A and B are shown apart, each in its own frame.
Chain A
Amino acid sequence: MHEVSISHAIADVVLKESQKQEAQKVLVVELEIGELSLLNPDQVEFWVKLALDKTIASEAEIKIEVVKPEINCTACGYTGTLETKDDPLYHFVIPVFKCPQCGSGEITVKRGKECKIKRIEVLT
């Protein structure tokens, strides 16, 4: 639901950084969106494109990589992915918030919550 404000923030950073390099045109914008974030990659792409309309980045290709969750278990030291529940009711896979190795709920999420501008490619 906050895709709009996040997308405007993305567009601001993209334009600011490309201006620093005195770019004529932004060719590629690469984003990383975590699977545990509440952001829908399709919507982010749509809004980023709109936010970049009529700018030097209006024709930029928006590439989005969806980042899988990675957790760390404080109880047994496990580091890795979360166990998931695949239910036909869902369009997506639901993670189970416990350690897949020892079952402890004492886990910290290391990756999977991000919304990151990885890199941009500009024409100078």
Chain B
Amino acid sequence: MFERRGLKIIRPGKGEIFDIELDEDLLRKNQDLAKENKKLLDSHKILAIDIMGSVGSGKTSLVTQLIKKLRNKYRIAALAGDTTTTIDAEQIKSAGADVLEINTGKECHLDANLVRKALKELNLKKLDLLFIENVGNIICPADFPLGSHKRIVVLSLTEGPYVVLKHPFSFMDADVVAINKVDLSKATKIAPEEFEKQLKELKPSLKVVRTNCATGKGIAEVVKALGL
């Protein structure tokens, strides 16, 4: 027993077994930061959309096409997440939007803290719409909300026929799915209908759109599905 400021405190003595209730959620810290990000964005009336998808699925191409389509309607900025390089940021910049590169180093996903740091660098007063492109990865980003209002997942026909079946959790928090590279349906022997059926079964509220982000086909439909 100890005494501190007149209070008796029972503490375990030497050689005793002691339980420490922690109830500490390691993912919660990120979730709380994500909520703060969302609050900050809301206070500036900015709509944030995050983009998730495999390496090479067409995320940067989609963001580039969306910016071209929407740059006269909204003031747009983009965050380009990548492990290294500024290739994505440069491509997005050429479409005519303010862009910030977030390099994660070896991490396989963006997190709310990195996004918070990036938000500090943007002039939020002069912004209506923010695209946040995640690191090319269809698994990990699903555990790390960023504070965006909507999520679009890009999946392409070149990723093989089992993307939806293998990665059901990736679509859990998605609002829109873009099935990209539909022009390669014949070469890949994958029918977009298959993905559409699987996605509807997994999450009936998903809006599914077919795109070819290289040419801009289907971009108008993506805009509509995102309510922009």
Residues on the B chain within 8 Å of A17, using CB: 20, 22
Residue from B17, B143, B202 in contact with A37 in the complex, judged by beta carbons closer than 8 Å:
B143
Number of interface residues of B (CB under 8 A): 36
- On whether A1 and B18 interact (CB within 8 A), knowing A10-B26, A13-B24, A97-B172, the answer reads no
A5 in the interface (beta carbon within 8 A): yes
The CA-CA distance from A37 to B21 in the complex, in Å, is 22
Q: Is the CB of B202 within 8 A of A96?
A: yes
Q: Is the CB of A39 within 8 A of B143?
A: yes
- Chain B 104-141, CB within 8 Å of chain A: the 1/0 string? 00011100000000000000000000000000010110
Q: Is the CB of B204 within 8 A of A103?
A: yes
- Chain A 34-51, CB within 8 Å of chain B: the 1/0 string? 001111000000000000
A94 to chain B minimum Cβ distance, whole angstroms, is 5
- On whether A119 and B21 interact (CB within 8 A), knowing A2-B143, A6-B26, the answer reads yes
- On whether A98 and B204 interact (CB within 8 A), knowing A114-B28, A122-B17, the answer reads yes
Q: Is the CB of A114 within 8 A of B27?
A: yes
A59 in the interface (beta carbon within 8 A): no
Name the interface size band of chain A: 35 or more
B10 to chain A minimum Cβ distance, whole angstroms, is 12
Q: Is the CB of A94 within 8 A of B202?
A: yes
Residues on the A chain within 8 Å of B6, using CB: none
Q: Is the CB of B172 within 8 A of A36?
A: yes
Q: Is the CB of B20 within 8 A of A38?
A: no
A43 to chain B minimum Cβ distance, whole angstroms, is 12
The CA-CA distance from A87 to B12 in the complex, in Å, is 51
Cβ < 8 Å to B, chain A residues 84-124: 85, 89, 94-98, 103-106, 109, 113-124
Q: Is the CB of B20 within 8 A of A21?
A: yes
Q: Is the CB of B20 within 8 A of A97?
A: no
- On whether A94 and B23 interact (CB within 8 A), knowing A38-B142, A39-B143, A105-B203, the answer reads no
Q: Is the CB of A117 within 8 A of B22?
A: yes
B19 in the interface (beta carbon within 8 A): yes
Main secondary structure of the interface of A (DSSP, over half): mixed
Q: Is the CB of B142 within 8 A of A18?
A: no
B12 nearest CB neighbor, chain A only: A124
B56 to chain A minimum Cβ distance, whole angstroms, is 17
- Chain B 1-38, CB within 8 Å of chain A: the 1/0 string? 00000000000111111111111111110000000000
A124 to chain B minimum Cβ distance, whole angstroms, is 4
- On whether A113 and B22 interact (CB within 8 A), knowing A27-B17, A105-B205, A123-B17, the answer reads no
Cβ < 8 Å to B, chain A residues 1-57: 1-2, 5-6, 9-10, 13, 17-18, 21, 23, 27, 36-39
Residues on the B chain within 8 Å of A105, using CB: 203-206
Q: Is the CB of A2 within 8 A of B108?
A: yes
- On whether A116 and B109 interact (CB within 8 A), knowing A38-B169, A98-B203, A124-B15, the answer reads no
B21 nearest CB neighbor, chain A only: A119
A17 nearest CB neighbor, chain B only: B20
Residues on the B chain within 8 Å of A1, using CB: 108, 137, 139-140
Residue in A38, A96, A113, A122 with the greatest tally of chain B CB atoms within 10 Å: A38
